[in-house]
Structure 1
Amino acid sequence: MKPSSRVTIRDVAATAGVSVATVSKVLNARYGVSAATSAHVQAVIRDLGYEASLVAQSLRNHKTNVIGILVADLEPFSTELLKGAAKAIKGTGYELVVYSAGGRTVDHAGWEQRYLSRLSGTLVDGAILVTPTVVEVEFGQSVVAVDPHAGPTGLPTVDSDNLEGARSGVRHLVELGHRRIALIGGRPDLESAKEREQGYREELARAGIDPDPDLIQPGNYDADDSAAAARRLLDRPDRPTALFAANDTSAIAAIEVAVAMGLRVPEDLSVVGFDNVPEAALASPSLTTVEQPIHEMGHRAIDLLIQLMNGEPVENTHVRLATRLVVRQSTAHLETER
């Protein structure tokens, strides 16, 4: 038998009578190996005294220098957030691994816990959950939630001031003279969507306007759902003169529907979105929107997670960032005659 310092993964595979790929799966605790085979390979590893350098270092030091980011899907918000996270990781000594559920999370609360289990053990030192459905997770390592579904959470969080952001967007429309202001809402399970609807209602009330229930339609942060909502709103004889959408995807979908129906934006319909993703500036007309600092949210999430992983004192584990209104071409003063 070779000295332990010279034993290779191929030696383990040959002795165990399995492929190198199977040994690698066992070393990294990955799926696809039966319990019996895994136990056999582990016994051979112990007998030969084999140490895979990265795995052995992880087991000794509990450090992989890898941070995991879990997203439900790669859509405009999560893509922009990843850009901020990627910038923040430079020079830290850590690497990023992104795990996308590919959109297979609709109506499945707790998806993060299932996917966290795949990253646990020796794969990552900590994780960032983007729009998670849970407020508590069993992971054994540091976790930060970005824009969580629930309100108060036991997890460290990073989000933006959705309530004041929505108020500023609706206030802009009111100041332009609009009073029939519709809402295309977000996903009802997301706290951000609830706060944006609350801000819409509060700003209307502040202006002395009673919200019309018929002017509040679900968009679910989805382009198709938002387009259907826009058609219902704009097909009314008493259609709204302005529309506030809970995200830019919904706002852009509403503009496309309005144009297809022969309406002019902003002359016949003013539209305000939320997020300020790159598509907002490229829309025709360019979209007035409430900007939440998505890149900074990703950056701050990385900073907070690294502090927690390093055991550093953290002054505030619930970071809330300010929003701002970005005025472009999709809003205008209400015309007295339509």
Structure 2
Amino acid sequence: MGRATIHDVARAAGVSVSTVSKAVNGRYGVSGATLDRVMQVVHELGYESSLIASSMRASRTGVIGVLVADFEPFSTEILKGVSTALHGQSYDLLAYSGSRHGDTAGWERRSLSRLSGTLIDGVIMVTPTVVNAVSEVPIVAIDPHTGPADLPTVESDSFGGAREAVAYLIGLGHVRIGYIAGRPDLRSSIARDAGYRSALSDAGLPVDQSLIGVGRYEQDIAREAAVALLSRPDRPTAIFAANDLSALAIMQVAAEFGLDVPGDLSVVGFDDVPEASQSFPALTTVRQPMQRLGAAAVGMLTTLMRGESLEHTHRRLPTRLITRATTARPRV
């Protein structure tokens, strides 16, 4: 016989599924007699082994949820950091991708409605599409959405990292430097754009809007932007990409155009995902401490879950330029 379900409990107790849900989660609207009947069936059928019943008994599930739009390299590294930080603690980890149901905007709200209050005690949202999200459990956001948010957040120094990357290219002698931006609704993308512009301004170089494309942090979209930049007769001699997936797409397009990297085109990314060092040539990139971002979010979230206040509701971690084989002085 399989494990008892909430429907089994409802049938045996002679109540609706919603009544069972309210009973096991300690919500209002269930009489004492009904609650006793539901709980008797829960124990008789062994439903107490489920996470939902456990949450009723202890008012908690012992599970931290991490909501991601997709399991791509950045979010995977975040998850590694979360998992490491939870090692030895009394929490399990639930990684959940809830954006692949048509329109991806607001996927966090749909996911939270499914998970909070029943399966998880707290949640970490990675690159959210919303400024704020209402939940029955504490929330921390990594790489937050732009706008006035009340959520505690963790992010990297995107502005400083981007400025350092572009300044490095300028130091090599590049003056026509393209840029493929990230998701325009995220603070990280806005900050990297500002860092790109700041480095050019500091060097007395104009910002050429025609050399700026949008990749939205997605490889396929970045590829289209790279094709547009490298098809120009006055193509840039270097391109800075807002993330490594976009930088790798640039390198693929350059190879298809017969361009040598870094001889004909220098490329710099942002993130330092594992694929960056494994590419050929190995990618020069800005390393953001992705696993540390995950660990920092865990520290903030568990503090909130204990009912304590955060000393700082926002944390920004430093970045570092990692020079490899995709950058060189421009050919004269």
* TM norm structure 1: 0.85
Aligned counterpart for 2:270 among listed residues 253, 274, 287: 274
Q: 1:24 to 1:282 in 2, by over 3 A?
A: farther
CA distance in 1, matches of 2:131, 2:205: 35
**Alignment check: 8 A CA contact 2:215 2:246 kept:** yes
Instruction: Report the alpha carbon displacement of residue 267 of structure 1 after superposing the two structures with TM.
Output: 0.8
CA contact (8 A) 1:13 1:23 kept: no
Indicate conservation of the 8 Å contact 1:67/1:95, yes or no. Answer: yes
The equivalent of 1:241 in structure 2 is: 237
Alignment of 1:260 onto 2:253: no
Distance verdict in 2 for CA 1:186–1:105, change over 3 Å:
farther
Q: Deviations over 1:11-32 (max 9, x none)?
A: x9499359xxx989955999xx
Q: Counterpart in 1 of 2:60? A: 63
Pick aligned residue for 1:291 from 274, 287, 290: 287
Change (3 A) 1:9 1:277: closer
Secondary structure at the aligned position of 1:188 is classed as coil
For the structure 1 residues 101 and 325, does the alpha-carbon distance in structure 2 shift closer, same or farther, using more than 3 Å as the test? same
Q: Does 1:80 align with 2:73?
A: no
1:116 aligns with one of 98, 101, 112: 112
Superposition deviation, residue 313 in structure 1: 4.1
Report what 1:3 is aligned to. Answer: none
Cα distance in 1 for partners of 2:181, 2:127 equals 16
**1:29-50 deviation digits (Å, cap 9, x = unpaired):** 99xxxxxxxxxx9785257584
Name the counterpart of 2:89. 92
Equivalent position to 1:210, from 200, 206, 211: 206
Instruction: Determine the C-alpha separation between the residues in 1 that align with 2:275 and 2:153.
Output: 26
Any idea what the Cα deviations from partners look like across 1:219-271, whole Å, max 9, x if unmatched?
11111211111111111111111000011001011011111111111011000
Contact 2:98 2:110 in 1 (8 A): no
**Secondary structure class of the residue paired with 1:320:** strand
> SS where residue 125 of structure 2 aligns?
strand
How big is the shift at 1:60? 4.7
Indicate whether 1:144 and 2:140 are aligned. yes
**8 Å contact from structure 1 (residues 72, 102) kept in 2:** yes
Aligned to 2:11: 16
Query: CA–CA distance in 2 between the matches of 1:268 and 1:56?
Result: 62
Identity of aligned residues (%): 50
Which consecutive aligned stretches of 4+ in structure 1 deviate over 3 angstroms post-superposition? 12-18, 22-30, 41-44, 46-57, 102-107
Q: 2:326 maps to which residue?
A: 330
Note if contact 1:71-1:129 (Cα within 8 Å) is conserved in structure 2: yes
**Distance in 1 of aligned mates of 2:23 and 2:195:** 47
Contact 2:10-2:17 within 8 A present in 1 as well: no
Contact 1:62-1:122 within 8 A present in 2 as well:
no
Q: Does 1:130 align with 2:126?
A: yes
What is the TM-score with the length of structure 2 in the denominator? Answer: 0.87
Within 5 A, what are the aligned runs for 1:181-192? 181-192=177-188
What secondary structure does 1:325 align onto? strand
CA contact (8 A) 2:85 2:298 kept: yes
Q: Does the CA contact (< 8 Å) of 1:133 and 1:150 recur in 2?
A: no
Which string of whole-angstrom CA distances, capped at 9 and with x for unpartnered residues, describes residues 110-165 of structure 1?
A: 22111101112231111111111222222122110111112442001111011111
Change (3 A) 1:43 1:278: same
Aligned to 1:271, what secondary structure does the other structure show?
Answer: strand
Cα RMSD (Å): 2.9
Structure 2 unaligned residues grouped into runs of 5+: 25-33
Q: 1:180 aligns with which of 176, 179, 189?
A: 176
Report the Cα offset of residue 64 of structure 1.
Answer: 1.1
Query: What is the distance in 1 between the residues matched to 2:10 and 2:269?
Result: 62
Asked if 2 retains the 8 angstrom alpha-carbon contact of 1:275 and 1:290, the reply is: yes
Secondary structure class of the residue paired with 2:270:
strand
- In structure 1, what is the Cα distance between the partners aligned to 2:103 and 2:155? 21
2:286 match: secondary structure: strand
Deviation larger for 130-139 or 158-167: 130-139
Question: Contact 2:23–2:38 at 8 Å: present in 1 too?
Answer: no
Instruction: Determine the C-alpha separation between the residues in 2 that align with 1:29 and 1:215.
Output: 59
